[in-house]
Every structure is written in C-alpha cells, then in structure tokens.
C-alpha cells in the first residue's frame, strides 16, 4: 500500500504553524478594523469565467496555474487563485454598488498549480484588503498605509521595503505600450521565448521577466514616467506626497507592473531579502476597470494581498498565548475528582489539561511536554481536607492550597 502523504505543494498546519498563521491573521484583522475595513469571505471556488474574465486568457495563472474542473452538473469550476476577482463578483452579484464606497478585509486559502518552493505552495493562504468606489489618489495612500501598519504591527517593517510605480491612466498606458513594443521589437531575436509570446498579447509583463537576457534588455527600455499625461502625473504626485506626509518611505521602481488592462495608476510591492528569491510579501495596485470588465458598473478599486506563509516566516515562532494547568490524580481512586476539578477550572476560564492514563510520573512528563505552567495534584489526603497540591513546574516548588483559594492562586500562572 502506498504511504499516504499530503498532496505535493500542500502541508498540514500543525499547532505551532497554525499559531503563527493565526497571529498574522489576528493582527491584520485588528489593524484593518482600525481603518474601517470589514471582514468578508467569498467561496473558495467560483465559476471559471470569473477568473478568465479578470485574469485574461493569456495570463500565466489562467494558462498554467488554475485548478479547474467540471462538476457533476457540467459546470466549469475553479478553485480561487486569488480573491480580488471574487470580491468584484460579490459586488456585482450582490448589487452592492449602491453602497459605495466599500472597505473589505479577507483571509483564507488560495490555490495555484505551480512549482512548490520556500514560502510558495499550491494551497497557500492570503490576507487582503480592497477599497471599492474611491477614485481619489488618497485611496491609494490609505490602502498602502494599511499594509504598512499591518507589517509594523507584525514587527517586520524593518525587514521590508516599499517599491512603487505608476501605470498611468488608459491614455498614458496606451502611449507607453506603443513605445515599449517598438523598443522590444528591435530586440526580438534576443528576447526569451516566453517574452516573445508576451510581446504580442501582454508586453508590460516583459518588464518583470526573471530571464537574465530579458532583464538586460529591459534595463534600457522606455519608462512609464516619460509617457504620463498631466492627469496621471498629478495623480501619482498626490500618492507620493501622501506617503511622504505619513512618513512611509518608498523606492520608485519603473519595472514594477501589472500586466492586465484594467490596472491603472499605482502599483506597489512590499519586498524583502530575508526569504531568498521570493521577495514580495504584500503587493497590490489600482484596478479601476476590473468591475466593468466583469460586466458590472464602472467602479474604481484599489487593493492588495499578502501571503500569510511568507509573513509568518518573517515573524518567526510565536509562543503559546497561555500555558496550560495540568490536573494530575494521585491514585486511581481520584480520577473522578480530578476530572470534575478539570471541568470546573475550564468553566472558570483556565486552560486545563488532564491526561487520560498513566501513573503520576508519566502524567507529569506529559505536563512538561505540553509546557504546562503548573500541576494541580489531586490526592486522597489533600481531598479529605478540601485541598490540592500545586506544583510549580519551573521551580519544582509545591504547596498545599485549599479549593476556595485555588482560582486566585492559579491566576499567577495565566
């Protein structure tokens, strides 16, 4: 029989890893709440058309990475590879455009079929924020500030840097695209096979190619900043000034792009060198054309997503929030009393553990293994006096405590 293993690119979130994930999620949720972003969730699978419309038939995600299948009813379904499309679909299908502006925060698993590597899995987890219905540049400033404050709350702000670029509006983007295509066409034979394909359908994506030859060519390519019309230039200046006013430092990166046509104006990434080649930990941009592309009303939007796995790796191990109290019966006849006391302590709010078998030595070894703070020994002699023995597992000291004073005594360990 084949040994059972997790599917490649997935892993179990055992308690230590789950605690780190929860830490990231809880701090992000609390920070988003300070900005007025309400938590929402979309289904983990959608009709495939939701992602084909938003990500494009030629994007890497659609052509190579989506988990798509036909269900028993004959519908084509895709596990969500990202969550912005689901949020936009919810806006349309729920008739939420009457309630703009909307501020949403979310978190959960995403799915992409790609080569697993450090910090990148086939089932991975993201947090994200979306601001819908705000066309002003200050919306971009707020969404970036939210991301920066979450990274600050997690204690990793000193490990990341903010990279920023503008894609301009539609007119600026079209002008730039024409100039870029003209330049790259002159280097057609030198481009990688992948970039030659992109030149016809998605030329801006060549700017973030990882191929060494492509990067050398792109280094001298035209830049968007030279093709901005006055409206786009003013928008970007407002974003930069807003970040300056908030003391959020950034570096301009003219090669930072979003390849799809509904993206415009701000594109940004918080990147790190602490995780090797996979540098981006939080990335986003403005997508004013997305909802209209999906068949909804023209609705400006800006947002970001961040990988929980990568953030958890930056944060490091998280200690358990509270240590357990181990209840240990001394003698087989004390099991019932020990169990009753365990339940009573749990009802009073104490994290309490009771081993189901073993002598006192084995039970105390378990208490140490689970990093319990103390052990409450329930023995026959002490029970006759309505007392228990409390052993401090750090110092080894123990003292007899009457049951009436037990809660007050145990609070020192919580």
Bridging pattern class, strands 280-286 and 38-39? unpaired
Shared-domain flag, residues 156 and 264:
yes
Shared-domain flag, residues 270 and 165:
yes
Shared-domain flag, residues 131 and 265:
yes
pLDDT in tens, 274-312: 887 658 999 999 999 999 999 999 999 999 999 999 999
178 domain residue, yes or no: no
**Which CATH number belongs to the domain containing residue 139 in this structure?**
3.30.930.10
Strand segments, DSSP code E, in 278-358 are 280-286, 301-307, 325-330, 352-353
Q: What is the pLDDT of residue 207?
A: 85
Distances (CA, A) of 94 to 85, 88, 213, 293: 14, 10, 47, 17
276 domain residue, yes or no: yes
pLDDT in tens, 377-410: 999 999 889 999 999 999 999 999 999 999 999 9
Shared-domain flag, residues 31 and 64:
yes
- ω into 101 cis (within 30 of 0): yes
Range of the domain at 355: 325-413
pLDDT in tens, 326-375: 999 998 789 999 999 999 999 999 999 998 888 889 999 999 888 899 99
**Which CATH number belongs to the domain containing residue 403 in this structure?**
3.40.50.800
Shared-domain flag, residues 265 and 370:
no
Shared-domain flag, residues 347 and 389:
yes
pLDDT in tens, 154-200: 999 999 999 999 999 989 988 888 998 999 998 888 888 888 888 88
CA dist., res. 349 & res. 407, Å (int): 10
**Stretch 130-134: mean pLDDT:** 98
* 204's tokens: 């801006």
373 domain residue, yes or no: yes
* 51's tokens: 């992602």
Shared-domain flag, residues 38 and 107:
yes
Shared-domain flag, residues 301 and 340:
no
Evaluate whether 328 touches 368 at the Cβ level (below 8 Å): no
Shared-domain flag, residues 120 and 156:
yes
What is the reported pTM? 0.89
Domains contained in the chain, number: 2
Among 297, 315, 333, which residue terminates a domain? 315
CA dist., res. 86 & res. 67, Å (int): 15
Strand partners, 303: 130, 285
Average per-residue pLDDT in the chain?
91
174 domain residue, yes or no: no
Among 315, 336, 359, which residue terminates a domain? 315
Q: What is the pLDDT of residue 277?
A: 64
Q: By C-alpha distance, which of 21, 58, 80 is closest to 316? A: 21
Strand segments, DSSP code E, in 294-384 are 301-307, 325-330, 352-353, 374-379
Q: What are phi and psi of 378, to 5 degrees?
A: -105, 100
pLDDT in tens, 239-252: 999 999 999 999 99
Shared-domain flag, residues 73 and 124:
yes
Shared-domain flag, residues 122 and 258:
yes
pLDDT in tens, 214-235: 889 988 888 888 999 999 999 9
Shared-domain flag, residues 249 and 377:
no
Evaluate whether 121 touches 312 at the Cβ level (below 8 Å): no
């Amino acid at each position: 029989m084949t040994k059972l293993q997790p599917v490649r690119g997935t892993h179990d979130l055992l308690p230590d890893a789950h605690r780190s994930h929860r830490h990231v999620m809880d701090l992000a949720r609390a920070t988003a709440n300070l900005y007025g972003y309400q938590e929402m969730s979309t289904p983990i699978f959608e009709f495939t058309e939701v992602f084909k419309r938003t990500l494009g038939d030629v994007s890497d995600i659609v052509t190579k990475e989506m988990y798509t299948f036909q269900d028993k009813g004959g519908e084509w379904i895709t596990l969500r590879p990202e969550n912005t499309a689901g949020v936009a679909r919810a806006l349309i299908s729920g008739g939420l455009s009457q309630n703009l502006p909307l501020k949403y925060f979310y978190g959960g698993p995403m799915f992409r079929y790609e080569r697993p590597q450090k910090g990148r899995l086939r089932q991975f987890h993201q947090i994200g924020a979306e601001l819908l219905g705000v066309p002003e540049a200050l919306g971009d400033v707020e969404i970036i500030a939210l991301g920066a404050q979450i990274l600050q709350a997690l204690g990793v702000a000193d490990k990341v840097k903010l990279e920023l670029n503008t894609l301009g509006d539609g007119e600026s983007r079209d002008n730039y695209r024409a100039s870029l295509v003209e330049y790259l066409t002159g280097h057609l034979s030198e481009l990688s096979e992948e970039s030659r394909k992109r030149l016809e359908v998605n030329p801006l994506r060549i700017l973030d190619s990882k191929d060494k030859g492509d990067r050398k060519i792109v280094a001298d390519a035209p830049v968007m900043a030279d093709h901005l019309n006055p409206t786009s230039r003013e928008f970007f200046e407002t974003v930069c000034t807003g970040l300056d006013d908030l003391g959020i430092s950034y570096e301009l990166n003219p090669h930072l792009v979003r390849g799809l046509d509904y993206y415009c104006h701000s594109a940004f990434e918080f990147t790190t060198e602490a995780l090797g080649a996979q540098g981006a930990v939080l990335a986003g941009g403005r997508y004013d054309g997305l909802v209209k592309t999906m068949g909804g009303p023209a609705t400006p939007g800006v947002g970001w997503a961040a990988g929980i796995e990568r953030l958890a790796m930056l944060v490091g191990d998280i200690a358990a929030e509270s240590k357990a109290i181990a209840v240990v019966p001394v003698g087989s006849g004390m099991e019932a009393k020990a169990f009753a006391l365990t339940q009573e302590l749990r009802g009073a709010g104490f994290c309490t553990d009771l081993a189901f078998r073993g002598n006192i030595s084995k039970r105390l070894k378990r208490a140490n293994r689970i990093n319990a703070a103390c052990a409450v020994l329930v023995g026959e002699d002490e029970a006759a006096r309505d007392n228990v023995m409390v052993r401090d597992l750090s110092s080894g000291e123990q003292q007899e405590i009457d049951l009436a004073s037990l809660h007050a005594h145990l609070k020192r360990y919580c």
